[in-house]
Amino acid sequence: MGTLRKLLNALFLCLWDAFRYDYSYHASALTLQLLLVLAPLIVFLAALSSYLGFIKLDLLEEVLREHFPKQTHAVIAEILKAKEQGKTASLISLLVSYFFSVNFVKKIAKSLSYVVERKKRDVHEVFFWVGFPILLVLFSFVTGMSFYVSILLKTYFKGIGFLSNLASSLPLLFLVISLYWSFIKINRKISLLISSFLVYFFASLLQYIFTLYTVYVFKGSVLYGSLSTIVLFFLWLNFNFLLFLVGARFIERYESS
């Protein structure tokens, strides 16, 4: 009971902090930054895939479709068209794409430093320029592995669906854990694992609620016309970045309690 009380107390406090310190502002800033960097990021990833055979952009698209509400799939398909440019991109365009992609990671680090000021990790500039492509390659590798593991589990363990769902969630969990570990001083690994799984759980729950909201409440076609799917895409990104920041705050609250 003591552990459960500690967890619930940390969860309540981090949610209160998110409301009190307006984490939504930083979530909105990250959403805007991601929108600006999406095309360059995909171009850079597509260029990497031409040299590293295990990077499969089609698998990345499957992951995005699984973790984004179906109302946003049309936007994802349009964004991923940029991958064709990456296959024939010049060196200059690749360098520009790389620059903008690294800059986005810096924005993530800055937002996390605001959320966990007392536990922020001092990161050298070299880490952003060298560590980012390594993280991107590892994420692509985990994405491919989780896809094949998920297929095997669905084939041989048809009655245990949560195993395949857990396997398909590995890329998201890996990304969240990697970012937290890179920019936050972690004293106890259990807090990192709990926070990452909570972020994934609430993101999955939010996806279900978000789908209901768009079907029964959100009248985007009336207000925004053909732009309604783009608006929903923005909202979904914003909510997920907010969850990401709250999860970071949870680590500090859990370890200090």
Mean pLDDT of the chain: 79
Q: What's the whole-model pTM score?
A: 0.85
Share of the chain above pLDDT 90, in %: 23
Question: What is the C-alpha separation between 127 and 91, in angstroms, rounded?
Answer: 22
Q: Are 108 and 30 in contact (CB under 8 A)?
A: yes
Query: pLDDT value at position 234?
Result: 84
Q: What is the mean pLDDT of residues 63-68?
A: 71
Instruction: Give the tens place of pLDDT for each residue, 41-53.
Output: 777 777 767 666 6
Instruction: Give the tens place of pLDDT for each residue, 197-219.
Output: 999 888 878 877 877 777 676 66
Query: pLDDT value at position 14?
Result: 92
Residue 174 confidence class, pLDDT cut points 50, 70, 90? confident
Q: How far is the CA of 60 from the CAs of 11, 55, 63, 85, 104, in angstroms?
A: 31, 9, 5, 17, 19
Greater model confidence, 242 or 150 = 242
Question: What is the C-alpha separation between 257 and 244, in angstroms, rounded?
Answer: 20
Instruction: Give the tens place of pLDDT for each residue, 228-238.
Output: 677 777 888 89
* 44-48, 113-117, 242-246, range with the lowest pLDDT: 44-48
Q: Are 221 and 228 in contact (CB under 8 A)?
A: yes
Instruction: Please name the residue that has the structure tokens 């903008």.
Output: 100
Query: pLDDT value at position 119?
Result: 81
